[in-house]
Amino acid sequence: MSKVWFITGSSRGLGRSLTEAVLASGYRVVATARKPEQLQDLVAQYPGQILPVRLDVTNKTEIKAAVAAAIDQYGRIDVLVNNAGFGITGAAEAFTDEQVTSQLEANLYGPIEITRAIIPYMRRQKSGRILQISSIGGRTGTPGITIYQAAKWGLSGFSEALAKELSPLGILVTSVEPGGFRTDWAGDSMSFAPFVEGYEESVEKVKHHFRGEGFVPMGDPRKAARVMIELSENPEPPVHLVLGSEAVAILEMADAKRTADLQKWKPVSVSTDHDDAVNFLDTPQGKMYSQLKTN
């Protein structure tokens, strides 16, 4: 039997492109969405191959029900893709409490809960792939999308630690970190906090960029979908996979700045060691870290 994919946010954007590509490749899909009726065209096109399920990733009851429906229908889950999410732009101080909570629940807490709900089945199978759709914003910071990126940094960090935790069990984890792709992320899926005076040179520049006609993302979601299918079959996937030349360029600039800062401030960093400290790699904890198996 073909593998079973569990994809969140499958009715639009990157999730829709991935769902279509996975189905076209002959796999079975548990396609979750807030409005699963938007998937009826795929149900008609791929009868018996797709199970549309209603899922708000911030609702723990719906998470449990969606995973149970997947197991009842197919008996297993081979590939989990945590794709659902959305962004908000504005100054950190301008967001309402509800906006902050909604960003963290949809982009971080939800994926963590879904992952935790599915891991036991993969553990018993002794196999599985988990693709967390994070963002290049989970590796570098941009003014105006602080709360969104806080969630994505959390998801990327969770994924990296989880990859080390699950690798001995035959479960491989990758944090997929796209740059700009031609979806509605900065369109209908984006909302904005009220204007606050004083951020014209930081937040407002980013906001105008997203709203402007000149904002044309470089990434093709159909190509990203093909890459993720190939990634799911790769026996040695990376723990982090950046997608898009834009994301590569941004990360290279960020890494160069971090490396320069690390070297500049290294004497200060190591000056805080206790007087009897030895080389970290010669310590038990250093040896443990160097021996941890990853993807």
User: Do strands 171-178 and 128-133 pair parallel, antiparallel, or not at all (unpaired)?
Assistant: parallel
Which residue type, as a one-letter code, is found at position 17? S
What is the architecture, at CATH level 2, of domain 4-250?
Answer: 3-Layer(aba) Sandwich (3.40)
* Residue type for position 19: T
- pTM for the whole structure: 0.91
Helices within 105-213 (DSSP H only): 110-125, 146-166, 203-211
Q: CB of 123 within 8 A of CB of 79? A: no
Annotated catalytic residue, options 11, 74, 121, 152: 152
Q: Distance (Å, rounded) from C-alpha 144 to C-alpha 65? A: 35
Residues 6 or more apart whose Cβ sits within 8 Å of residue 203: 89, 90, 91, 143, 144, 196
| pLDDT tens digit at each of 295 positions of the chain | 699 999 999 998 899 999 999 999 999 999 999 999 999 999 999 999 999 999 999 999 999 999 999 999 999 999 999 999 888 899 999 999 999 999 999 999 999 999 999 999 999 999 999 999 999 999 999 999 999 999 999 999 999 999 999 999 999 999 999 987 666 654 556 678 888 899 988 888 877 777 665 666 678 889 999 999 999 999 999 999 999 989 999 999 999 999 999 999 999 999 999 988 888 888 888 888 787 766 6
* Active-site residue flag, 223: no
Please tell me the predicted confidence (pLDDT) of residue 186: 46
Query: How far is 225 from 236, CA to CA, in rounded Å?
Result: 18
134 classed as catalytic: yes
Catalytic: 17?
A: no
Please list, in sequence order, all residues whose beta carbon lies within 8 angstroms of the beta carbon of residue 101, skipping any fewer than 6 positions away.
none
Burial zone of 28 (CB within 10 Å; 0-12 exposed, 13-18 middle, 19+ buried): buried
d(CA 85, CA 152): 10
Q: How far apart are CA 32 and CA 45, in angstroms?
A: 17
User: From the candidates 148, 156, 159, 175, which is the catalytic residue?
Assistant: 148
Contacts (Cβ under 8 Å, ≥6 apart) of 109: 58
Contact 195, 233 (CB under 8 A): no
- Residues forming a β-bridge with 242: 177
Of 41, 34, 28, nearest to 10 by C-alpha is: 34
Q: Which two tokens stand for residue 110?
A: 């939800």
